[in-house]
Structure 1
Amino acid sequence: MKYSQATDYALHAMLYLVEEAPDKPVSVQLLAEKMGVSQTYLSKMLTKLVKAGLIHSVSGANGGYRLKRNQDEISFLDVIHAIEGTASIFECSFNHGSECLIQQIIVEGEQQMERFLSSQKISELARKNAELRERRRLAAE
């Protein structure tokens, strides 16, 4: 299974917003520069995150994107669904319906993965990242 590059960008953008600017807007230009990605492509991902209600767009000279939901509520699955959608990654080609044992196993695996990804919060990753940076800083002194 593979998620698109768009999901990668969206997860990293959300992490940046949580870590660096939870309460203030960040321009797409600054975000693209920090991430080293195309501003045009990133803008498309941010639009999807806006439509999903995870962030919102602030217009004006000091505008940009900022978190809309409480950062402690935003899960990896929320971001993935915003970018990839919610369709199953597997569909039985033989129209066996719910009787297809192969589809039953795949669906159960997807459900387990979704439960795990929904339990993983972007804010918790930000906290772990901060701890890691602090340990590196202390080790360098």
Structure 2
Amino acid sequence: MKLSDGVEWAIHCAMLLGNIPENATLSGKALAEFHGIPESYLLKHLKQLVARGVLESVSGPRGGYRLARAPDEITLLDIVQAVDGNRPAFRCTEIRRRGPCRLDDSAYPLCCGVNRAMMRAEQAWRNALKEQTLDDISQDFFATADPRLLPLGENWLAENTRMPKS
């Protein structure tokens, strides 16, 4: 299975947004700059995250993006489905019903065994993504990141976070 680059980008952006004050925002431009990715492509994915209720978009000079829910309420599955959709990764085309050994439809009362196996695997994958929250992966990041990286990120966030007017 191959997920789009947008999934990785969206997860990283959501993690970053989970580490700013509650009503603060980061612009799409800042998020793209922080991750070294194209802003125009990232904005498409940020819009998808807004549409699915993962992020909120705030307009105005202090606007930008912020999480729509707490980091422990946003799963990796929420993000994957927002960016890549809900369609199954495997699509059975019933090739067993083709070729020189094919029979009429009565010979195939059950769904293809390959399809059943792939659907079980996909359900396990989706369940695993549903169990992982942004909070989980943020905690893992902070526990395993090179300590030299943390102050750099903190300084960048201090310079780029947009706070609402009091």
Q: Above 0.5 in TM-score?
A: yes
Computing the radius of gyration from Cα coordinates, the structure with the larger value is 2
Residue range with higher mean Cα deviation, 107-116 or 16-25? 16-25
1:103 aligns with 2:106: no
Mark the runs of 5 or more structure 1 residues left unpaired by the alignment: none
Mark the runs of 5 or more structure 2 residues left unpaired by the alignment: 98-107, 149-166
Residue range with higher mean Cα deviation, 75-84 or 9-18? 9-18
Match runs of 1:100-139 below 5 Å: 100-133=112-145, 136=147
How many correspondences in the alignment?
Answer: 136
Letter in 2 for 1:91: R
Q: Secondary structure at the match of 1:136?
A: coil
Aligned residues of 2:7 and 2:83 also touching (Cα < 8 A): yes
TM-aligned CA deviation for residue 23 of structure 1: 3.7
- Superposed CA deviations along residues 90-119 of structure 1, whole A, max 9, x for unmatched, are 121127685211100000000001111110
Partner of 1:40: 40
CA spacing shift, 1:8–1:98, aligned 2, 3 Å: farther
Letter in 2 for 1:49: L
Cα distance between partner residues in 2 of 1:75 and 1:46 = 16
Cα distance between partner residues in 1 of 2:39 and 2:109 = 43
Partner of 1:13: 13
Q: Which has the higher helix share?
A: 1
Higher relative CO (CA 8 A, sep ≥ 6), structure 1 or 2? 2
Identity, % of aligned pairs? 32
Aligned residues of 1:21 and 1:66 also touching (Cα < 8 A): no
Aligned residues of 2:25 and 2:65 also touching (Cα < 8 A): yes
Aligned residues of 2:18 and 2:70 also touching (Cα < 8 A): no
TM-score (norm 1): 0.89
TM-score (norm 2): 0.76
Partner of 2:162: none
CA spacing shift, 1:63–1:105, aligned 2, 3 Å: same
Aligned residues of 1:98 and 1:104 also touching (Cα < 8 A): no
Runs of 4+ with deviation above 6 angstroms = none
TM-aligned CA deviation for residue 22 of structure 1: 4.8
- Superposed CA deviations along residues 66-94 of structure 1, whole A, max 9, x for unmatched, are 01112111111110000111111112112
Aligned alpha-carbon RMSD (Å) = 1.8
Cα distance between partner residues in 2 of 1:70 and 1:136 = 25
Partner of 1:70: 70
TM-aligned CA deviation for residue 20 of structure 1: 3.9
